[in-house]
Structure formats: C-alpha cells, structure tokens
Structure 1
Amino acid sequence: MWVLAAWVLLGTVTAGSAQLQFNAIKSIEINTNEKNVILPCLVNNLQLNNITFLFVKWKLRGQEFFSFDGYKPELRRAANFSSAKFVSPAELPKGIASLSLDRKEAPAGNYTCEVTESNREGITTVELIYVRSSSSSPVESILITLFMILAIIFYWSQLGVVASKFEVKYKKKVSLIVAGGIVTVAAAVGFILFLSDGFTPKTQAGLGLVIIPAVILVPTLYILLRAVFENNLPHFAIVLVVVKSLGYLIAVVGFALCVSAYTRSHGSVVIAGLAVFAFVALASLIYVIIIGSSMTDHQPPRKAVEEPLNAHIAT
C-alpha cells in the first residue's frame, strides 16, 4: 500500500515540475567597447543533472543559430555565429546554458534559450541592448544631425532661389518639392529614432533614414544647376555634383561600418561625409545666388526678347 502511495506522490511531484524554470533575466545591457557578449540562460530545477539528457537551442528573433544535443553529443552553429559557445560546458548539467559570443556576431535583439531535459522543457527570453561606451561622445550624434539639417535647409533655399529667378517648368518644380519633402520627412523621423541612447535596431533604422534617402539630393542638385545654366553647365557646377556624390558615398560607407560593427564607433566617417555633403549644398547655394543672379542681370529675360521678335514677324 505504501508503494502505491509513494508512486502517486512521486507522480504528483514530477507533474508539478514538468516545466523547466529559469532565473528570469529580461534584458542585459552591453557597453559598445566590450569584445564579448554573455547571454544568460540559467535553469534552476534540473533533476537528472546528466548532459546526455540535455538538448539546448538558442534563437535570435525566432531563427535558430545554435544547438546542442547531449545524447549524440553534437554541437551546431550558424555560419554567422561561429564564435558561439557555452560559457562553461562543465556546468551545463547543472543548468548553466549561458552562451558566449563575439560582439560583432551578436546583434541587438531578443534571444531565446530553449532547454529540454528528457521529457521536461522550458524557454526563456533575454533582450540584448547596446549602450554607448564612455569613450564615445554624444557630440557625434549632434554633428550628424546638424550637418544633415544644414544640407536640407540649403537645398530648400536653393530651390526657392532657382524657382523665383529662373524659368522652371511646373512639373519639374513639383518634382523637386516632392523630392525635398521625402528627404525632410525621412530625416525628421530618423532624428527621433537615432538620437536615443545606445545603438539598437531602432537607432540603426534612424540613422538609415537620415543617410539613405539623402541620395535624392544629389540628382536634384544637378537638376537645379541645369535650370540655372541650361545646357552650358560650367565645370565648377559639375565639380559640385561630383563632390557631393563623394560626400554621400563616404556617409554611406560610415553607416555600413556602424551597422556591421553594431556600434557608433565609425560615426566620424558618417560625419565627414555629411560635412562634405552640407558644404557642397552651401557652396552651390552661394554659386546660384551670385553667378546665377549676375546672368539674369546681364541677360534680358526670354519673354522680353521674344515679344519684339514676334511683333516684327507679324508686321
């Protein structure tokens, strides 16, 4: 009779602990100057404490990148997570399934750890957040924002000068306004996302909205200069377009380096590109105001020339 009671009691205990339990860690913050990342996964109610019965899976945003099968035993890693390894393989039977990663292979986001012991299993999620290192200055973020704002202001100013002093077709004028509006709105949203702390996916997206749509301001500069000088585009005007293109390219390279490193450590490259970008916008604005205005001062408007000619033909 006592054997039956013990069996019932054991079954009750086992059923009550069928779900593995973890030390809940919702998020970890990693300084951007750290070389390695430790993703915690601590099970506190393993029973067998035998690696043979353990199966561990790590996922990032639902995609599996690391797994361990203790029965075989077998360890698998995704190609882009080659540095992934258990912090302490010897303590895995005790429930320590924490993972160590090279920071360059560990993007910010939600990581899930799934552990199975025989017929018992459990899952825990931890969010990896990168925060700005003490060596990085918020001045970089301010400069990126400032140079992009100046570039946009100079564009709108140049568009206003060209539209008021030179003949621009209505459709072309509307296209230039729409193009400037796209860049302005995208940059405004980007600033809101980018100026937050750390370099999370949100701030990466913000920097992307600031940099990528700005490519529109390169061909629009060429169109504005063509509206002023028509087919006789001076060499200096061509140089402005080329230099602005190079500035944009530098900014894009800096953005790509920041994203690939998951930090703002290459923010200086972005700043250099946007500084060139904004300087060319200012130079082209001054060029249009001074040179373009002198052209209109010394050359009669087309309508003034065409009206006497049409009157002569009519007589």
Structure 2
Amino acid sequence: MWALGVWWVLLGTLGTGFAQLQFQKVDSVIVDSCNTSDIILPCVVTNLKENNEKSMFVKWKIHGRDFFSYDGYEKKFNRNSTFQSANLLNLEKFRFGIASLKLSKKEALPGNYTCEVVESHREGDTIVELIYTSGNSCRTEPTFPKVCQGTSWFESLENFFIIATIILAAVLFWLQFGIVVLKFDTTLQKKIGLSAAGIIVTFAAVIGSIIFMPAGYTASNQAGLGLIVIPAGILVPLLYFLFRSVFEKQPLFAVILLALKTLGYLIAVTGFALCVSACPPKHGSVMIAGLAIIDFVAAVGLIYISIIGSSFKDHQPPRKAVEEPLNDAKGVMLE
C-alpha cells in the first residue's frame, strides 16, 4: 500500500509538470536613447501541444496590473488606454507559442512585465524586465507608479555646454547692441533691423534649447539642436553691422574677429552635421568648440567696441568740423 501511494504521488507530480507551460528564458530587455524603434518584449512557449489559436489566451501585466490581452477563441484584443500601441509581435505565429509583445517606445514603461499564456487546461507565465540604461525623464501615469525612462542624446556635460554657449552668444549680442545704441549714432532703421535679427537668434536659441533638453534621440531633439546651431550664423553679419556703426572703415582687428566668428560658425555647423544623424554622437566636442569660438569672438568684440570703439570716436574730429574747412578751401579756389 505504501509503494502504491508513492506511485500515485509521482504520477501527480509528473502530471503537474506536463500541465505547466514552459517558456524561453529571457530575464531582461535593455533599451537606450539611441533605440528609436518599437520595444519587443519576448514571450515564447516551448511546449505547446495543440498549436490551435482557438484554445489559447494571452495576458500581459506590468507591476501586477493587466494592460493587454488577446483571446484566440474570440479573436478579441483588450488594451489599457495607457498602452494603445500594444500588440502581438506576430499574430500568425501565436498558435505556435509566440506571444511576444510589441510596444512603442513612448508607451513602454520600465519595470517587470508578466506574460501569462493559457492553452486549453494548461497555463504558465514568464517575467521580463524592461530596463532603460539611465533614468532622467519622468512621468506619472494615472493607474501606474511614477516612472522614469530614456537617456539623454548627449552626455550631461555636453548638454550643458551646448545650451550655455548659445544662450551666452545671444546675451553678448544684446550687450554689444546696447553699447552701440547708447554710445554711437545709429539710425532708427538700423536699430530696428539689428534688434529684429537679435530677437530671431534669441527666440531660436530659447525654443531650440527647450526642445533639445528632453531625454531621448527623436526628431524633436534633432530639430532643437538645429535651432540652436543653424540660426547662430546670423550673429556673423550682426557683428559686421555693429562694427560699421562704430567704425567708418573696418580696422584690421575687426576684420580678423569677423573671420574668426565665421570660422567658429562653420566648425559648429560641421559638428552639427556629424552629430544630427549619429547616436550616440561622436563629434559633440566639434560643435561645442565652434559655438565656444563664437562666444569668444563675441566677448572680445564687446570689449573692443566698449574700449577701442569709444576711444576711436572720442579722438575723431566731428564730421562737420572736417567738412567746413574743406568747403571753405573749395570756395577760395573757385574765386
């Protein structure tokens, strides 16, 4: 009798094992900011018997809460409003045990995902953790915990320098403009033109920085970087017109500054072209170096206009004082 009892226990244990669905083991899926495609969460059953979609059912959970299911008998999907992009990776292969889930990166929250599959009277589940390599962009969902996801396109220090250099360039322009307007004779038309161009550069820098800052490598990040770098070229002719307001004839040093600022802009644009289609970017330092040259020239130009320009103006005789003796001399010669 004892041996018979052991035999029934062994049969029950074996029967339970056969009733449990088994899965390919995948512990985690790791995603970084350079991944712009949909997220695939694997769930593959390895011991199906019937291979019949009508006898199968799959449910996906995150943090223990249901958000997606598919009933093979009724061919019916059910999705949580937070995960509208959720779908089976390949519906045609579902009957062969492939219940992997596809999610848009925007909706894919980091955390533990549970895949539960039922075939007739057998069932099983597997857990896959979705990991983002760094968490610096957070949001709160109404039915899920606060989550952070995504990584920055550039390193944090590079982000800081990119934004700081363009903001500094705009500030230095407005300081130059203020000194020129206060100390030198400037026509109303020129004031309007310079201020309008300055507003365009400043607006592009601020909006570009706001769009560029969020984590990720997306079209909006690329557009933000473009707004930071490309409009900075306007600062080159602006410096030229500011010098023209100070000096009747461009001194050699002013010409050198204009050439350096043009060179800085060309370097920044080259760096931008190398970075905009690369993730992670390998030439961010080139772009930052170009923007830093623009700032350096702007700072030197500010000092030059403030000190040398003012001194130059003070030592220049008034135009009327020069013109009147010339007119008198012409009159004497005519007589």
One fold, TM greater than 0.5?
A: yes
Residue 265 of structure 2: aligned partner: 248
Residue 131 of structure 1: aligned partner: 151
Q: Residue type of the partner of 2:204?
A: A
Q: 1:202 aligns with which of 195, 215, 220?
A: 220
Q: 1:167 aligns with which of 169, 174, 185?
A: 185
Q: TM-score, normalised by structure 1?
A: 0.58
Residue 193 of structure 1: aligned partner: 211
Does structure 2 retain, via aligned residues, the 8 Å contact 1:132–1:198?
yes
Residue 178 of structure 1: aligned partner: 196
Provide the secondary structure at the position in 1 that maps to 2:31. Answer: strand
Length, aligned pairs only? 223
Return closer, same or farther for 1:186/1:29 CA change in 2, 3 Å cut-off: farther
Identity of aligned residues (%): 46
Radius of gyration: which is bigger? 2
Does structure 2 retain, via aligned residues, the 8 Å contact 1:150–1:278?
yes
How far is the alpha carbon of 1:207 from its aligned partner? 1.3
Paired residues for 1:82-231 under 5 Å: 95=98, 131-132=151-152, 137-230=155-248
The 1-side partners of 2:257 and 2:106 are apart by 41
Return closer, same or farther for 1:132/1:288 CA change in 2, 3 Å cut-off: same
Q: 1:274 aligns with which of 284, 291, 305?
A: 291
How far is the alpha carbon of 1:301 from its aligned partner? 3.0
* Deviation >3 Å, runs of 4+: 36-39, 41-44, 90-99, 262-265, 303-314
Return closer, same or farther for 1:205/1:33 CA change in 2, 3 Å cut-off: closer
> After superposition, what is the alpha-carbon deviation per residue over 1:233-263, rounded to whole angstroms, capped at 9, x for unaligned?
1221111111111111111122222211144
Paired residues for 1:2-21 under 5 Å: none
How far is the alpha carbon of 1:29 from its aligned partner? 7.6
Return closer, same or farther for 1:238/1:30 CA change in 2, 3 Å cut-off: farther
How far is the alpha carbon of 1:275 from its aligned partner? 0.5
Residue 123 of structure 1: aligned partner: none
- Gapped runs of 5+ residues in structure 2? 1-28, 45-50, 54-88, 108-131, 133-148
The 1-side partners of 2:267 and 2:164 are apart by 17
Q: 1:238 aligns with which of 242, 255, 280?
A: 255
Q: TM-score, normalised by structure 2?
A: 0.55
The 2-side partners of 1:312 and 1:48 are apart by 110
The 2-side partners of 1:171 and 1:92 are apart by 75
> After superposition, what is the alpha-carbon deviation per residue over 1:177-217, rounded to whole angstroms, capped at 9, x for unaligned?
00000011111111111121222222221111111111111
How far is the alpha carbon of 1:267 from its aligned partner? 2.1
The 1-side partners of 2:193 and 2:30 are apart by 45
> After superposition, what is the alpha-carbon deviation per residue over 1:124-178, rounded to whole angstroms, capped at 9, x for unaligned?
xxxx996237xx6311111111111111111111111222222222212211000
